[in-house]
Chains A and B, each alone.
Chain A
Amino acid sequence: MRRATVLILVALMLPGAAQARRNKAQPVPKFYAEASQTLATVEFVQEFVAGGQRQQTRGYTDGAVISEDGLILISGRVRFPQRGGSGRISGGSLPELSGFVLHFSDGREHQAEVVGFDDDMNLGLLRISDPPSEPMPHLNWRTGFEVDVGTSLRTLTLYTEAFDRKPVYSTVMVNALLEKPQEVWSLSGASSNLLGAPLWDSKGRAVGVVAEVPMSPWAGRQVVPDLSGPVGLSYERFAVWIAQTLEGETAVAEEDPEDADAAWLGVMFQPVNRELAEHLKLSSGGGVVVSRVVAGSPAAAAGLKSLDILVELSGERIDVEEEADTASFAQAIRELKPGTTVEFVREAPGGARDVVPVTLVQAPRSELHAQRRTNKAFALTVREATMDTLLGQRLDPTTPGVVVDGAERAGWAGLSGLGVGVIIQRINDHEVTDLDSFEKAMDAIEAEKPEKVLFFARFGRRTRFFVAEPDWEDESP
């Protein structure tokens, strides 16, 4: 769980190995120490066909952690292995990318998987394979950042392994605004080494990323016509894309609906492709395997279990070969009407079949659409504990509490150490189960004006206490 007061980064005194903590500040050394923790060298394997030969090469780029649970923003350049300075590609197909490993300057290493790419902005998203045991240090985006010609921005990249992946600090200057509303910046001092590197303002807040204007035949609309080389993209430019990509991802995992009318089954799937089907001696040639059934869901009520193989939905064969297909399958279920009863055909290894009817219900709300409340005195914003947040922290979907969505660092809650992502379950003697009880608790506390306020919170299975010391005399918290 996050601690607010630990400022030092302690490294093992062995070349190349280290251990880090979190910090935040504006002076360059402090900025450097904090921001470095969010930056990783992304190592990966590109496999492509060139000249009729299958080739594998190892590639590297910069990546930045953008969420506490390990989402990584990278440059889309990784998809174009043979691209030279001219921006031309020498032919062949897009490479297959795999084996993503993130190397942080403090020695942390994580494997990662692709979440998605955007060809217009030439950006990519990865997610670390092992869910982190505590919130990861990540970029804090600032929106509404006003940039003008002459604005100086900070950036970081990492040296190679030979130099212990030491972070390299530099500044770049906006020398032209390329597109309204000021979302694409031409930068002086930005080389292609900086692709994927975040851009920070002088207060150490992330405002954008160094990206490349795509010139590839695969890119559709170009960001800026007739310009190649690194540019700055403002966070506003890609924020929506990140949100949509994530929603697609949650859709796979939790069938998260965009609208209130979406239907919910309550399972997670993995594909069963032809080879696997053959090996399991299924007569159907494939489908999906139920990897998880959410407790209390329609699927659980209907008796679906982990490792069940579903091969037909309401008379139609489930044709899922790739992981991407599970997304469209999940989408198809989501588009049904809540209240509909569907029939799955379940096939056991060997070929025995049975029919499982399931009545879908309305989908639970996701984190993105969660309701939020802000308590001004404590400078604390919380959101309802939605099922995706709870499952993400490996908690029971009925776990009571509210999730910290934001706490101003110098506010009363922020000073107590409460950080984004932790679930508040009790405040002094007031049990907090949802937004209403949170609000009631805070109202009571504001009426009592106690010297100390005790928050009991959890992140995953770990619990911890946070004590805020409000200054009730202060009229302008």
Chain B
Amino acid sequence: MSANPLRSLLLVALLAIPQQASGKDLQTSILQAQDQALSALVNIQPITESFTRGEARKQASVGSGFLIDDQGHIVTNYHVAGRAKQLMVTLSNKERVEAELVGEDPLTDLAIIKIPTETVEEFGLVPLAFTTSSTLHVGQFVLALGSPLALARTMTFGIVSNTERYLADGMSLPTGERTGEFNTWIQTDAAINPGNSGGPLINLSGQVVGVNARGAMFADNIGFAIPADTARRVAHDLIEIGEVQRSYVGVRFQPLKDWEGLFEVTKGEGVLVASVEEGGPAAAAGLNAGDILLTYGGEEVGARFDEELPGLYQLLAETEVGAEVPLTVMRRGQGRLDLKLKTVNTGRLQGDRFEAEHWGFAVKGITEQMVFDLDLQDNTGVVVEGVRTGGPAHRGKLRRGTVVRSVEGQSVADLAGFQALYEKLGDSPVVLIVQRHESQWYVLVEKNGENGQ
């Protein structure tokens, strides 16, 4: 074993850890950190709307957040404040103010909300500053602030248990969006419970190192925070341009582990293309499952371990939308091949929702991502988001997840088209042509007074 990398690692660790604790005892450090941080902490009570039962239903929950500038911008999770109809915020001084939603990013599960600038001034609230999460160390002391089980202004204490925890892909939010593919996670044993979501994880200097978002179920003290480096980048985009723009490529990778011999590459070179989305940019570029991607945009890329995948997906997402990117792949039996890939804009994961009240169901518009995520034929029509039990559509056996293609013989192009037809025909019985994957059939939506409600 070479001693050098190990020694340099130790050196960094020795420099970094005592820096915080030396000079003052732990108790003093914690008190100073909380002194700095508590003022920025907020308890968020969002009212969100769900359409999955076929009608707009209000839902209340509790989460956490923290002030990041003197304008009143607050960082929280998308699963706390995303799609909120109304946001009440309880400040650290127990005052309640209303907040507005500024921007949301389900792909990283982050959202920005805002309280009035005057409120920040009036109460002398001190925003929290991000520090980089890239120099965190396992064992470093951290504090988690938030509202576990709605218990506002709770602080818990622990250490960083792991700095690059990989949580397998395929995670999704309760609202259905996929998430978590662009970052590894900071694992901590500082107690994190339901209600902590959106609260800050801070170091003993009172700087934000992560945004608490998840915890392991049926376990003690295994919590996960979104790293500050991801949160800061997303917060910046949401505040400055209101959204996070990402390129979509349509490819899934697997790390190469020690499989290089199976794919004719040398150890540490490239990443395995596991799956290529049919109809996506990667497929159009001629990328195949089983290819080893060696370079992307002239830059060497690779992943031997799962932990390296989120960074790779982030690199692809950062490509300028629509740019033509040169790739090199190694294809078994054919050697190195040069390909050209043109990315598309990821856009919104889900469309707007609309309740066709008289018909007893709710729909949502179809975005490009939904075509991939739900495996739809194309983006025409609207997707049934929910069917009201006992309502007219329910009687006609309309089901959630089917695509409405036409109403009374008139094609539905998109959500606006559906709304227009509802305005015209909402009071009459109608026949829908609906589709689920390759199947299409008719659904009669009758006006039905007795069971209309």
User: Taking beta carbons and an 8 Å cutoff, which residues of A are in contact with B?
Assistant: 3, 6, 8-21, 29, 32-33, 36, 45, 47, 54, 56, 98-99, 101, 105-107, 109, 111, 113, 129-130, 133-134, 164, 268, 270, 272-273, 275-276, 279-280, 289, 291-292, 306-307, 323, 349, 394, 428, 451-452, 454, 456, 460-465, 467
Whole-angstrom CA separation of A414 from B428 in the bound complex: 56
Known A12-B79, A15-B61, A279-B444: A291·B439 in contact at CB below 8 Å: yes
Whole-angstrom CA separation of A47 from B387 in the bound complex: 17
Q: Which residues of chain A are near B215, meaning CB under 8 Å?
A: 10-11, 13
Closest beta carbon of chain B to A464's beta carbon, Å: 5
Closest beta carbon of chain A to B409's beta carbon, Å: 8
Q: What sequence of 0s and 1s flags, for each residue 259-290 of chain B, a beta carbon within 8 Å of any chain A beta carbon?
A: 10110000000001011111000000000011
3 closest A-B pairs by beta carbon, nearest first, are A99-B389, A9-B217, A13-B197
Closest beta carbon of chain A to B370's beta carbon, Å: 13
Q: Which residues of chain A are near B170, meaning CB under 8 Å?
A: 134
Closest beta carbon of chain B to A356's beta carbon, Å: 18
B437 in the interface, Cβ–Cβ < 8 Å?
A: yes
Chain B interface residue count, CB cutoff 8 Å, equals 72
Contact indicator A16/B194 (Cβ below 8 Å): yes
Whole-angstrom CA separation of A276 from B109 in the bound complex: 44
Known A16-B61, A394-B437, A464-B275: A109·B52 in contact at CB below 8 Å: yes
Partner of A463, one of B219, B289, B389, B438: B289
Contact indicator B194/A307 (Cβ below 8 Å): no
Contact indicator A461/B439 (Cβ below 8 Å): no
Majority-rule SS of A interface residues: mixed
Partner of B168, one of A6, A105, A428: A6
Whole-angstrom CA separation of A273 from B446 in the bound complex: 13
Give residues of chain B (219-254) contacting chain A, Cβ–Cβ below 8 Å. Answer: 219, 222-224, 252, 254
Q: Which residues of chain A are near B444, meaning CB under 8 Å?
A: 273, 275-276, 279
Contact indicator A45/B400 (Cβ below 8 Å): no
Contact indicator B216/A56 (Cβ below 8 Å): no
Q: Apart from A15-B61, A268-B439, A461-B375, list 17 A-B contacts with CB within 8 A.
A: A8-B219, A12-B77, A12-B214, A13-B192, A15-B195, A17-B79, A33-B217, A129-B399, A164-B194, A291-B439, A291-B440, A306-B441, A307-B433, A454-B262, A463-B289, A465-B254, A465-B289
Q: Which residues of chain B are near A454, meaning CB under 8 Å?
A: 259, 262
Q: What sequence of 0s and 1s flags, for each residue 74-92 of chain B, a beta carbon within 8 Å of any chain A beta carbon?
A: 0001011000000000000
Q: Which residues of chain B are near A307, meaning CB under 8 Å?
A: 433, 440-442
Q: Which residues of chain B are near A18, meaning CB under 8 Å?
A: 217
Q: What sequence of 0s and 1s flags, for each residue 327-363 of chain B, a beta carbon within 8 Å of any chain A beta carbon?
A: 0000000000000000000000000000000000000
Contact indicator A15/B216 (Cβ below 8 Å): no
Partner of A462, one of B150, B196, B275: B275
Q: Which residues of chain B are near A33, meaning CB under 8 Å?
A: 217-218
11 interchain pairs, CB-CB under 8 A: A12-B77, A14-B195, A14-B197, A17-B194, A56-B390, A129-B399, A291-B440, A452-B262, A463-B275, A464-B254, A465-B254
Give residues of chain B (349-388) contacting chain A, Cβ–Cβ below 8 Å. Answer: 375, 387
Known A15-B149, A111-B400, A452-B259: A465·B274 in contact at CB below 8 Å: yes
B415 in the interface, Cβ–Cβ < 8 Å?
A: no
B94 in the interface, Cβ–Cβ < 8 Å?
A: no
Known A10-B171, A13-B195, A19-B214: A292·B389 in contact at CB below 8 Å: no
B101 in the interface, Cβ–Cβ < 8 Å?
A: no
Q: Which residues of chain A are near B171, meaning CB under 8 Å?
A: 10, 19
Whole-angstrom CA separation of A9 from B212 in the bound complex: 16
Known A9-B217, A134-B170: A272·B442 in contact at CB below 8 Å: yes
B397 in the interface, Cβ–Cβ < 8 Å?
A: yes
Contact indicator B401/A14 (Cβ below 8 Å): no
- Nearest to A322 among chain B residues (CB) is B397
B159 in the interface, Cβ–Cβ < 8 Å?
A: no
Q: What sequence of 0s and 1s flags, for each residue 410-453 of chain B, a beta carbon within 8 Å of any chain A beta carbon?
A: 00000000000000000001010100011111101010001000
Closest beta carbon of chain B to A473's beta carbon, Å: 19
- Nearest to A129 among chain B residues (CB) is B399
Contact indicator A98/B218 (Cβ below 8 Å): no
Contact indicator A12/B213 (Cβ below 8 Å): yes
Closest beta carbon of chain B to A241's beta carbon, Å: 25
